[in-house]
C-alpha cells in the first residue's frame, strides 16, 4: 500500500475510534444539564423582561402620542392606551419565550461548558452522585444558587424596578418559586457526610463554580442583551397598535 494511503487510513481509523468517545462525552454532558430545573431563574428573567417590555411599550406610546397629536388624555390610565400597551407587551413576551424562557439556548451553552471543562470520568462521578438522594438536593442547591446570583446581579445593577405596574403576576410567580425552592433544597448536613465530602471535592467545587458563576453569567448576559434590544423591536408591532389608536380618535370625535 502507498505510504500516503497508509497514513490516511490510520487517521480515518483513529477518528472513527474517537467518535464514540466524543459522542459519549456529549451525551453525558447533556444528561448533567438535564438534571437541573432552572424554573426560578426563568421566573426571575421573565419578571425582569416583563418590566422592560412594559417600559419599552410606554416609551413608544408616549412618542406616538406626541407624533400623532393624541392629546393629554393619551396616557397609561386611558383604556385605549392600555389596549395598545397590552398588545405590545404580549408581542414582546412571545419573543422572550422563544429567546430566553425555553432555555434551549442555555442548554447548548452549558453543555459546551461541561465538555470543555470536565473530563468523562468527572462527568461519570457527577452523574453517579447526583443520582443519589443527597445528590439531588445538591442539584437543587446549584439551581437555587444560580437564581440567587441572577436576581442579585439584576437588583444591585438597578435593573429591577419595585412594584412596576403591569408586572405583578410575574413578580408573585418569581417570589413563590424562590421561596418553595429555598425550602425544598434544605437538608441536615450532619446526616449526610457524603454531601459534605462531595461539596469539598475538586470535582464538586469545580462544578459548583462553573454552574453558579459561569452559568449565571450566561443568563445575565442574555437578559441584558434582550432588554437592550426591546425598544428597537416595538415598531414592528405597530400594526397591532394603530387600530387601537384609530378607535381612540373616533371616541374623541364622537
Which one, of 141, 121, 118, 119, lies nearest residue 195 by Cα? 141
Q: Flag whether pLDDT at 195 surpasses 90.
A: no
Q: What is the pTM of this model?
A: 0.87
**Band of pLDDT at residue 23, cut at 50, 70 and 90:** low
Question: How many H-runs (helices) and E-runs (strands) does the chain carry?
Answer: 11, 0
The reported pLDDT for the residue numbered 33 is 95
Q: Rg of the Cα trace of the chain?
A: 25
The reported pLDDT for the residue numbered 186 is 83
Q: Flag whether pLDDT at 148 surpasses 80.
A: yes
| pLDDT (mean) for 185-202 | 79
Mean pLDDT over each residue of the chain, to the nearest integer = 89
Percent of the residues in the chain that have a pLDDT greater than 70, as a whole number: 89
Write b or e for each residue in 93-118: b if 16 or more Cβ atoms lie within 10 A of its Cβ, otherwise e: bebbeeebeebeebbebbbebbbeeb
How does pLDDT run across 25-49, given as a tens digit for each residue?
Answer: 889 999 999 999 999 999 999 999 9
Phi/psi zone of residue 244: left (φ > 0), alpha (ψ -120 to 50 degrees), beta? alpha
Amino acid at each position: 500500500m502507498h505510504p500516503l494511503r497508509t497514513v490516511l487510513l490510520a487517521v480515518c481509523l483513529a477518528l472513527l475510534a474517537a467518535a464514540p468517545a466524543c459522542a459519549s462525552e456529549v451525551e453525558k454532558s447533556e444528561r448533567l444539564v438535564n438534571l437541573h430545573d432552572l424554573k426560578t431563574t426563568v421566573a426571575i428573567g421573565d419578571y425582569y423582561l416583563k418590566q422592560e417590555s412594559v417600559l419599552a411599550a410606554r416609551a413608544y406610546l408616549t412618542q406616538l402620542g406626541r407624533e400623532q397629536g393624541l392629546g393629554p388624555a393619551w396616557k397609561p390610565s386611558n383604556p385605549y392606551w392600555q389596549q395598545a400597551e397590552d398588545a405590545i407587551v404580549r408581542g414582546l413576551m412571545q419573543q422572550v419565550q422563544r429567546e430566553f424562557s425555553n432555555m434551549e439556548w442555555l442548554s447548548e451553552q452549558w453543555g459546551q461548558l461541561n465538555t470543555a471543562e470536565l473530563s468523562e470520568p468527572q462527568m461519570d462521578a457527577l452523574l453517579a452522585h447526583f443520582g443519589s438522594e443527597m445528590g439531588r438536593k445538591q442539584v437543587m442547591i446549584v439551581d437555587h444558587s444560580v437564581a440567587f446570583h441572577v436576581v442579585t446581579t439584576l437588583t444591585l445593577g438597578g435593573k429591577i424596578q419595585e412594584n412596576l405596574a403591569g408586572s405583578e403576576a410575574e413578580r408573585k410567580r418569581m417570589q413563590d418559586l424562590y421561596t418553595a425552592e429555598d425550602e425544598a433544597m434544605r437538608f441536615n448536613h450532619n446526616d449526610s457526610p457524603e454531601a459534605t465530602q462531595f461539596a469539598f471535592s475538586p470535582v464538586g467545587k469545580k462544578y459548583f463554580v462553573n454552574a453558579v458563576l459561569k452559568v449565571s453569567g450566561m443568563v445575565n448576559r442574555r437578559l441584558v442583551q434582550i432588554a437592550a434590544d426591546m425598544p428597537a423591536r416595538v415598531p414592528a408591532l405597530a400594526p397591532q397598535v394603530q387600530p387601537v389608536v384609530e378607535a381612540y380618535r373616533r371616541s374623541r370625535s364622537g
